[in-house]
Structure 1
Amino acid sequence: MTSRAPVPTSSDALLTTREVAALLRVHPKHVYRLLKRGIPTRRAGGKWLFPREEVLRWAESSAHAPSESETAPTGAAPAPLLAANGDLAVETLLARHQREGHPLVGFVLADRSHALELLEQGQVMAAGWHGALPAETEARGGLARLHLVHREVGLIAAPGKEPAALERLSRVRFASRPPTAGVRHHLDECLRDAGLDSRSLHRGATLHASHRDVACAVARGEADVGLASRAWASRLGLSFRSLGYEAYGLVIPTVLLGTPAVVGLCETAQGAALRRSLRGIPGYEPGDTGKLQVLAARASRHAPTRKKERT
C-alpha cells in the first residue's frame, strides 16, 4: 500500500507534482495532463510547482471541468515518434525509456530543421533541437522544451591524429553536415572569426545526415576530418578538438504534454538513472537534464508595424 504525499496547508504554499496530485486526488501522471488545461503553476529549479490556493480555486471552477474537447483529441494525434539527429543522448533516453516500461517511442533520423518541419506538420510528437527557434515558430507559441544535455561539438580525426586547423580544412577530405544542421552554426561562426568562407570550404566537403555518420566516415578512413560531437568521437576512439558547447534537448507541442508517450519521456528524462548514464559519456554535461520549460509565444520580428494615425 502506497502512502500519499502530505499536502502543505499554508495559503501561500507551493506544491510539488505529487502533493498537488494528493490534493486533487488524482494520479501524479494526471497532473501533467492538467497542464494543457491551464492549471496554475510555476517553474523553479527545473520542477513544476503549484500555488495551493490558486489550484483549489481553479479546481472548484466549473469553467475548468474536463470537457469532451479536452478528453478526446480534435484531430489525429501524431504517431509516437521522435525526430532527431542520432545524438547519443537521444539514444540513451529512448533505451532507458523502453527499459522502464513506458509506451514505445520510435526514432526518425533528421537534422534539426527537418525535425522541426516534421513536428510542425504533425508527423512526430517531439523534435531534437538546440539554439533559438525560428522567429515564426516562436511567434506561434504552443511549444515546450525538454532539456537533455549540454554537449560539446568540434572537429574529429583518426586516433592519434590532430584534426586539421580551420585554414587547412579545404585541403583535406572533410566530412561535414548540411547548413540546416545545428552543429554547422558553430563551425561557420568559427570560420567567420578566422576570416574564412564556409561556402568555399563546403564545396569540396561531403555532407552527412548525423554526428554518427560523420564519425563513422572518419573511422572508416573515408574522411580525414569530420564535424561531430565529442560523444561520438569518444564512442569510436577518435581524436577531438572542441569548437564549443550547446544546450541540446527536445521540442514538444504543449497540447501533447498529457499524452502517455510524452509523460513517459518526461519521467524518464527527469530520472536519476538517465543522468547517471549521460554523465558517463564524454562531452556531456547533464546537470539540468529533464528540465521542462513551456516556451512563451513571442512577437515575430517580421510582423508589420502599424502606422500612427494622424489626429
Structure 2
Amino acid sequence: MAPSHGTPPRTQDELLTTDEVATLLRVHPKHVYRLLKRGIPARRAGGKWLFPREEVLRWSEVSTRSAPEPEPSRDEAAPAPLLAANGDLAVETLLALHQANHHPLIGFVLADRTRALELVEQGHVLAAGWHGALPPELEARGGLARIHLVHREVGLITAPGKKPPALERLSRVRLASRPPTAGVRHHLDQTLRENGLDSEAIHQRAQLLASHRDVACAVARGEADVGLASRAWASRLGLSFRSLGHEAYGLIIPTACLGAPAVVGLCETAQGSALRRSLRGIPGYEPGDTGKIQILAARASGRARATHNGKEGVQ
C-alpha cells in the first residue's frame, strides 16, 4: 500500500475522491472502503467519502509499519439494523428524519449506554447511544466511529413550579434515578461526592428507571418527587429543572458497518440542516457540531484518533 509518487503536486488541504485515493495508495477502489475500518482519515460530503491527501499519506506511512488487520469472515452475520439508546429526544428526532428521508429503516432498542455498547460489541445492533469517554480498552482497540449529535444539559427535575430539594434531602424524598451503568448517573454521583454525600445511601430507596422519559413521566404522574433526566425531557413535560451539568451525546458505530446503506443514510441525516434546526428548537440542546464523525483507530497503528473531517473529534 505504498503511495504513488507519479501524481502531480497537490495543495495540502485538498480532498481526494475514493478513486483518487486508490490511485495514490495503489490499491483497488473497493479496498479503500476496507481501509475505513482501519482508521484512514476521511469525511462524508454530499453522500460520498472524501479524503484529506496529506493526512492519508501520513496515515499510510504509519499503517504500513503495522500488521494488517484480518478481514472479517464472509459467514459472519451483519448486525441487525437497530440502534440501542436510552430514548433521548435527539435520537428520536434523528430516526424520524432518517425515515422521512426514505433511508433504509433502523429500529430502536431501549438500553442505557453500557448495555447499548455491549450490544454493539456483540454484533447485535448497528449503533449505540453514548456520552462521556469510552472505556480505555475500547479506545485502544479502535474499530469504532463516533457520530456527534448534540451537547445536552442534564439535572434534577420536579413537578411544575416546585424547586428540586437540597441534595442532602434526596434520601428523604421519592427519587426517580437511573442505574449506575447509565451515563447520566455520573453527574449526580459526582455532585453528591463534591458535597460530601454518599450516593449509595441516597439511592437506597430510589426508583432506578430505564430512560430519561421514564424518569420524567414518573415525576409528571406524581410517582416521584424528584428525578434525574435531561432538560429536554423536563421541558417536553413542562417540569421544573435544576442543572447538574452538560455532556456531549452521540452514537457509536463499528467502522466495519460504515458502508452499510442504513448507516450511510444515518450519517447523511445527522449531517443535514434539518436535524440541526430541529435540535435547536429543543431546550437544553446545543447542536453546534452535529454530524461530526470521528474514527477511533487502533493505537497499535500509531494513530489513536483520526477524524472524518480532518479535525479533532468531540469528546
TM over 0.5: yes
Determine helix, strand or coil for the equivalent of 1:282.
Answer: coil
Determine helix, strand or coil for the equivalent of 1:80.
Answer: strand
2:10 maps to: 11
| TM superposition shift of 1:36 | 2.5
Q: Matches of 2:238 and 2:31 in 1, distance apart?
A: 44
Kindly indicate whether the alpha-carbon contact (under 8 Å) linking 2:21 and 2:51 is maintained by their aligned counterparts in 1: no
User: Within the alignment, does 1:20 sit opposite 2:17 as a pair?
Assistant: yes
Aligned length: 270
Distance of aligned partners of 1:150 and 1:181 in 2 relative to their CA distance in 1, 3 Å threshold:
same
1:225 maps to: 226
C-alpha distance after superposition, 1:59-96 (max 9, x if no partner): xxxxxxxxxx68x9451000000000000000000000
Determine helix, strand or coil for the equivalent of 1:170.
Answer: helix
The CA RMSD measured in Å over matched residues stands at: 2.7
Distance of aligned partners of 1:33 and 1:262 in 2 relative to their CA distance in 1, 3 Å threshold:
farther
The equivalences for 1:195-206 within 5 A come to: 195-206=196-207
2:304 maps to: none
The equivalences for 1:84-103 within 5 A come to: 84-103=85-104
User: Within the alignment, does 1:81 sit opposite 2:78 as a pair?
Assistant: no
C-alpha distance after superposition, 1:123-176 (max 9, x if no partner): 001001111111222232111100000000000000000111111111110000
Determine helix, strand or coil for the equivalent of 2:80.
Answer: coil
Distance of aligned partners of 1:204 and 1:39 in 2 relative to their CA distance in 1, 3 Å threshold:
closer
1:275 maps to: 276
State the one-letter code of the partner of 1:107. F
Kindly indicate whether the alpha-carbon contact (under 8 Å) linking 1:172 and 1:225 is maintained by their aligned counterparts in 2: yes
Q: Matches of 1:282 and 1:234 in 2, distance apart?
A: 7
Determine helix, strand or coil for the equivalent of 2:202.
Answer: helix
State the one-letter code of the partner of 2:150. V
1:288 maps to: 289
1:177 maps to: 178
| TM superposition shift of 1:53 | 11
| TM superposition shift of 1:106 | 0.3
Q: Matches of 2:37 and 2:239 in 1, distance apart?
A: 48
Kindly indicate whether the alpha-carbon contact (under 8 Å) linking 1:128 and 1:250 is maintained by their aligned counterparts in 2: yes
2:36 maps to: 36
Determine helix, strand or coil for the equivalent of 1:182.
Answer: coil
2:266 maps to: 265
State the one-letter code of the partner of 1:115. A
TM-score by length of 1: 0.79
Distance of aligned partners of 1:95 and 1:14 in 2 relative to their CA distance in 1, 3 Å threshold:
same
Distance of aligned partners of 1:95 and 1:214 in 2 relative to their CA distance in 1, 3 Å threshold:
same
State the one-letter code of the partner of 2:292. K
Percent sequence identity is 71
